Structure 1
Amino acid sequence: MCKICTNADLCNFQTGELNEYTERSEMPNEIMCMALGQVPEGEQRSWFLAVGLADNTVRIISLDPNNCLSPCSMQALPSPAESLCIVEMGHTENTTTGANDEPTERSANTSTKGTIYLNIGLSNGVLLRTVLDPVSGDLADTRTRYLGSRPVKLFRIRMQGSEAVLAMSSRTWLSYYHQNRFHLTPLSYETLEYASGFSSEQCSEGIVAISTNTLRILALEKLGAVFNQVSFPLEYTPRAFAIHPDTGRMIIAETDHNAYTDETKNARKQQMAEEMRMAAGDEERELANEMANAFINEILPEETFSSPKAGLGLWASQIRGLDPIHGHTLFKIPFVQNEAIMSMCVLKFNIAADGRYYLAVGVAKELQLNPRITNGGSIDIYKIDPTCSNIEFMHRTEIEEVPGALAGFQGRLLAGCGRILRIYDLGKKKLLRKCENKHIPYQIVNIQAMGHRVYVSDVQESVFFIRYKRAENQLIIFADDTHPRWVTATTLLDYDTIAIADKFGNMSVQRLPHSVTDDVDEDPTGTKSLWDRGLLSGASQKSENISSFHVGEIIMSLQKATLIPGGSEALIYATLSGTVGAFVPFTSREDFDFFQHLEMHMRNENPPLCGRDHLSYRSSYYTVKNVLDGDLCEQYLSIDPAKQKSIAGDMFRTPNQICKKLEDIRTRYAF
């Protein structure tokens, strides 16, 4: 047992009879916190004491009876230490030896034990994890992670038979070792203040914690999971959603093919009941009436019995407002049978002086998928309540084609009506068409806007870069792509760069060269020379392909976002199969070269089970360019230790250094 006698004096007691050692150690500054490790198996004492001082340092003090309370090492900190915790996690590869290569008393049994880590919680919300040498007490290999805005408090618990650390800041995190790698995962729970390990017959590895003025007992599950998901059931398949900027509430467009609306279901029920009555004879009329009434009143849950199939070409749609925190439905706006919602966006109209947000919904009528036949479409405008608790229908604008994409643009509405790009403004009875561009080849499926530029995605001809000239009221194509791409999702990375995903599982990044200018004029007279009209039957300027990568699954959504507080931006994608992944940018050439060499070694040392060439797979449609396979690099943590040493030796590094690089780039962006 160690005790702080004054602000800077340390006393060491031998438990049992509580005998105090004669020496006391006076620290150079006020002691803020300290921590003892667990007593190793087969020994009588912990060998080291960690002490955090007010001078922004952590000192390791020896508890060896022959050299008690003598300093071993010190580490400077960027902020005062709030809490310390010494834990043993992971596994060591071989026996640690002393200076003469002979096992010492403390190192003789370390071959089967884990590595000792000192976790340091700082007052600025940062967690440091550093390796504590079990023989000399030296500190090395420090890793940093920002947890929250409050000082970090650390508590040692047990998880799956080994030690873990519960770190509490503005949210609670769990640091543990699982499947040959470290995890630092936030808990999907309320903010906790204090905690301790808890074990009982009902809960062998639990946590007892304090939150505000309540005592709680928790049990952790789904170790190794990155995301926590909560499901809210919907009536139809969600096709698109928009987030209200002021309240954060969601407006969801639900559409299903081969489905009935509730109104049509009730009408069909009445029709079938009437047919039952008509088919019965005079003697069975009373029985038929009873059966028909029972059929009408019987409600079969569709979750169990499935929904009735309407047939091809029949659609059911509705708009739902949802509170994403609690899952409450705020409102539902049903559509009539055979109307399918194809696109949706939230925007403000400059012409409306109320400052309210409006919801634009693109609807297709009587759409048949193959062959593609439609009876036109419409754009519905709704006014959104300031609290997003309700929406008010304004008017409907009939159009001749399906509105495949909608977007707000400079206080107006950009609409992709089939292959025509139009700008609409708000009118009293319908939308007012301001200008249009008819040069998109097939069908517009996505629209992005920034500044005066519009980035329009065609269903099979990649992205067109369009400049809006307000003075001439024109939309002019000034650049396009050299390759056909069947676009499923896009997102803007900056004013000149756009990320594109296609239906064959590829992701590419296109950028406009510095020589490209968007100050171009349209040629309505056709007097320009043939060689000035464009390249490859397109625009006169072309975008450059910056990177290409075959993901292997159809990407349905791309978004530039930050997943963790204080983290850097990454390109997040979600696929049709349910995968959520991230493309992260390299911040230095050194990191790129390191992971490029690691990927090369992993291709040779750990080939795929089915024997397919990794480079060939990632270049299935377009040659892989400027993208490294992080999934392949992460497999380094799970391969044989001998192969790990061999790869590390070829890269002139140690396995721990490679593991640290992998962890650093993972925690910098995601988890």
Structure 2
Amino acid sequence: MFFFLLQTEYGDIFRVTLDHDNERVKELKIKYFDTIPVTSSLCVLKSGFLFAASEFGNHALYQFQAIGDDPDVEASSATLMETEEGFQPVFFQPRKLKNLVRIDQVESLMPIMDMKVSNLFEEETPQIFSLCGRGPRSSLRILRPGLAISEMAVSQLPGVPSAVWTVKKNVNDEFDAYIVVSFANATLVLSIGETVEEVSDSGFLDTTPSLAVSLIGDDSLMQVHPSGIRHIREDGRINEWRTPGKRTIVKVGSNRLQVVIALSGGELIYFEVDMTGQLMEVEKHEMSGDVACLDIALSLKEDRDHASLLLDLMTTRSASYLWIPMIILSLQSVSSPPESLLFLEVQASIGGEDGADHPASLFLNAGLQNGVLFRTVVDMVTGQLSDARSRFLGLRAPKLFSIIVRGRRAMLCLSSRPWLGYIHQGHFLLTPLSYETLEYAASFSSDQCAEGVVAVAGDALRVFTIERLGESFNETAIPLRYTPRKFVIQPKRKLLREAAKKESFEAAGMGENGNADQVENGDDEESTDPHSDEQYGYPKAESGKWVSCIRVLDPRTTQTTCLLELQDNEAAFSMCTVNFHDKEYGTLLAVGTAKGLQFWPKRSFEAGFIHIYRFKEEGKVLELLHKTQVEGVPLALCQFQGRLLAGIGSILRLYDLGKRRLLRKCENKLFPNSITSIQTYRDRIYVGDMQESFHYCKYRRDENQLYIFADDTVPRWLTAAHHVDFDTMAGADKFGNVYFVRLPQDVSDEIEEDPTGGKIKWEQGKLNGAPNKVEEIVQFHVGDVVTCLNKASLIPGGGECIIYGTVMGSLGHFFPSHHDVIDGDLCEQFPTLPMDMQRKIADELDRTPGEILKNLRK
């Protein structure tokens, strides 16, 4: 009851206090506090923070700098008597934040207005381009699957390195002391301090390549090179162990107390650190073949007298041995020769954060030469391997490295792209990193970067940190001026060249006589604030007043190469690229607009137009060829056989290009309400009606006629549509449902074999509709209004799925299955159930909880 905060629809926050005598209010006082983007909810925390859940766009966390007690701020008060006599409003001018300061924000895509999936940047995985937001908070978001990377430093090296390590001088040190880089014939040692610089007195041998560098014991350093092991004591003494004969070391596995080396020919030699800190040879073991890779688990007991060795090695015969000196505990065959091994010990914690929902806490990971990551559970008592899983990571054999993430051990997998395996909220996640291909990596910790990674790529040494763990995508946001509606991609240039943005004055808040330059630049004293429009929004305007623009944007540089403001109260509603046959202009851009559109008290408009633009200066600039007036609002445009299909109200019309305007070729006026989507495949046209779902159409060129041969029996208020295959369409309605309809195969075959293409049946009609009906094959309630659908594959070699975006900013996908519908979000809740409930469900399915979890993770 100290004070209340109220926010208006403009975003202005007011501080309200009550002066009362016991339970009787004597006076109400209201004072201007600050202006932030319009929210759907405000939450004041006792710790002095304010969380603002935005109505659209990113949510924000603010900290109170003051509570608005300044006497010079515009205020108003009212007593009971004054209220009865009439209240005079107090006017004020919005200003920069004074009582609040934004300290963090939660990224949000809401609302997603349009979306495309395309690999414009020629990366391993495609990017998701989405139009998001409303008014001055609008943006084009470029989403890449993977975690975001913050690059701290990049340094060129004198050659191409083969490996890199970081090492501390003492086990109790907080930060690393050296970065050691190995080359084909030398080793470079860099000291970590305020700056990173080369040193020559570290004790490391710099005239030979290194195979491994690590801390051994509590305060000694170890360097393994092809000819032996160099043990550097804390007092500067150096002990050397040399390989017997002319044999060389080819593979190394080590932890702080134990070392295993593999010599050429397949011999293994095992070393331990004794009580005096000396590295001593313990035993040898002859293998039946050359060792391809090996790794040692961390010491399971700190007691030196009982330090156990759990060693895993792989030979070129594609078999994995779990081995304690002289005893083979387990054998595991794999599908391809191995390249790298890593034991990942996961610390047990409350809530079952064990990484794979198993009682065990040790996992063996293997990178195979076919690009697959093989992962299995190691029983800590018997050493047996179980519950093997595999996942394809890329075209290169994964190299596995142990790093630190949030103070816990994690796994970095370097294939054709880097991947991170880590624990997040009780689950083991394997997520790609949005970064270039790396060759070798190690953890990095310094005073300037407490938890990072140092890696080599080409001839460069890179230091970076990993941000926003737990997220599926990282994004690049390009600010836009108005609420975006539609955009298209110019495919020949593999660049996002056209994006139409349209906005009503009601939503964008520009005055009737305002223009974009005035709004962006401003005439008041606050115009120097680059976030003023984002913070304050645009002023509201009367109904029926619009502002709109067409933008050409290069996503590589995030630069706008052309911006055309539509004049005379026009707003753009649809667009597409079109290539008219036998025309000289090449690819053109068609934009459908409406003038003076109003939705209330009833829908009305002054005129509709279709603009035709051509690209100039290598597609960077638009030039208007002509615009054609039409009798409705063109909500849908699509290229079809060298012509332009337009949905103008309830009319589907085919246009050709003329010198001064578009030329009508044929039309169909039998659609029930308003056409909102048009998609084509071969000679079929798939039309989405605003209220009546899908209509399948054909065009007969010899008769120059459009006709409907199939429609849906269920009325649907369409919000999104996408063509799946020759007979199937995917759609979404305004009640949060996504559904798929398909033309029966026998009907489809009959229409294709019919010389008239079903025209005779169409003329006869059926139940005041098309002669054939599509069948609903799947329906799923998403629970949010889906605004866009797209078909794409997000991983190399993966199957295609239907990706959707919603008003609330969610991204999801539908993957084809032999079953009807499987709710993946619901299935993911299985590990959170109590164990007795998991066992009960598993017993009903005649499975174990582990088997169910394994199938859910696939």
TM above 0.5, yes or no, is yes
* Conserved? CA contact 1:367–1:373, under 8 Å: yes
- CA distance 1:546–1:407, change in 2 (3 Å): same
Partner of residue 538, structure 1? 769
* Conserved? CA contact 1:341–1:361, under 8 Å: yes
SS of residue matched to 1:428: coil
Question: Residue type of the partner of 2:620?
Answer: S
Shift of 1:217: 2.8
Greater relative contact order (CA < 8 Å, ≥ 6 in sequence): 2
Partner of residue 328, structure 2? 71
- CA distance 1:256–1:412, change in 2 (3 Å): same
Question: Residue type of the partner of 1:388?
Answer: G
- Structure 1 segment 188-203 matched on structure 2, within 5 A: 188-203=434-449
Distance 1:569 1:59 in 2: 38
Partner of residue 281, structure 2? 20
Cα-to-partner distance string for 1:330-379 (whole Å, 9 max, x where unaligned) = 2212211411111011222222256x322111111111112110112111
Distance 1:297 1:178 in 2: 43
Shift of 1:221: 2.6
Distance 2:539 2:351 in 1: 64
Higher mean displacement: 335-344 or 84-93: 84-93
- Structure 1 segment 541-580 matched on structure 2, within 5 A: 541-580=772-811
Shift of 1:263: 11
* Conserved? CA contact 2:650–2:672, under 8 Å: yes
Distance 1:406 1:268 in 2: 29
Partner of residue 501, structure 2? 254
Partner of residue 181, structure 1? 427
Partner of residue 48, structure 1? 310
Distance 1:171 1:155 in 2: 14
Question: Residue type of the partner of 1:139?
Answer: L
SS of residue matched to 1:477: strand
Question: Residue type of the partner of 1:585?
Answer: P
SS of residue matched to 2:724: strand
In structure 1, runs of 5+ residues without a counterpart are 63-67, 96-110, 271-292, 593-625, 665-671
Partner of residue 255, structure 2? none
- Structure 1 segment 178-327 matched on structure 2, within 5 A: 178-250=424-496, 251-258=498-505, 259=508, 264-265=513-514, 301-327=532-558
Cα-to-partner distance string for 1:312-334 (whole Å, 9 max, x where unaligned) = 11111111122223422222122
Partner of residue 82, structure 1? 339
SS of residue matched to 1:164: strand
Question: Residue type of the partner of 1:455?
Answer: Y
Shift of 1:460: 0.3
Match status 1:374 vs 2:635: no
* Conserved? CA contact 1:92–1:115, under 8 Å: no
Distance 1:397 1:53 in 2: 72
Distance 2:525 2:626 in 1: 35
Shift of 1:294: 7.5
* Conserved? CA contact 1:34–1:50, under 8 Å: yes
Partner of residue 839, structure 2? 645
Distance 2:736 2:362 in 1: 43
Question: Residue type of the partner of 1:303?
Answer: E
Match status 1:628 vs 2:822: yes
Distance 1:56 1:246 in 2: 45
**Could you say what the CA RMSD is over the residues aligned between the two structures, in angstroms?**
2.9
The one of 399, 402, 414 aligned to 1:153: 399
Distance 1:425 1:533 in 2: 29
Question: Residue type of the partner of 2:598?
Answer: Q
Cα-to-partner distance string for 1:425-453 (whole Å, 9 max, x where unaligned) = 22222222111111101100001111111
The one of 682, 692, 697 aligned to 1:461: 692
Match status 1:654 vs 2:848: yes
Shift of 1:521: 5.0
- CA distance 1:400–1:158, change in 2 (3 Å): same
- CA distance 1:90–1:572, change in 2 (3 Å): farther
Shift of 1:478: 0.6
Partner of residue 30, structure 1? 290
Partner of residue 595, structure 1? none
Partner of residue 336, structure 1? 567
Partner of residue 745, structure 2? 514
Shift of 1:299: 6.1
* Conserved? CA contact 1:497–1:509, under 8 Å: yes
* Conserved? CA contact 1:261–1:317, under 8 Å: no
- CA distance 1:501–1:566, change in 2 (3 Å): same
Match status 1:59 vs 2:321: yes
Question: Residue type of the partner of 1:633?
Answer: C
Match status 1:39 vs 2:39: no
Distance 2:569 2:351 in 1: 69
Scaled by the length of structure 2, the TM-score of the pair is 0.64
Partner of residue 729, structure 2? 498
Distance 1:112 1:554 in 2: 38
SS of residue matched to 2:474: coil
Partner of residue 588, structure 2? 358
Cα-to-partner distance string for 1:93-143 (whole Å, 9 max, x where unaligned) = 999xxxxxxxxxxxxxxx998521111112232211111222333222222
Question: Residue type of the partner of 1:220?
Answer: I
- CA distance 1:91–1:641, change in 2 (3 Å): farther
- CA distance 1:453–1:268, change in 2 (3 Å): closer
Question: Residue type of the partner of 2:765?
Answer: R
Question: Residue type of the partner of 1:659?
Answer: L
Shift of 1:208: 2.1
Shift of 1:387: 4.3
Scaled by the length of structure 1, the TM-score of the pair is 0.81
SS of residue matched to 1:632: helix
* Conserved? CA contact 2:709–2:759, under 8 Å: no
Sequence identity (%): 43
Partner of residue 281, structure 1? none
Question: Residue type of the partner of 1:153?
Answer: K
Q: Which structure has more helix as a fraction of its residues?
A: 1
In structure 2, runs of 5+ residues without a counterpart are 1-258
Distance 1:542 1:169 in 2: 49
Shift of 1:523: 6.3
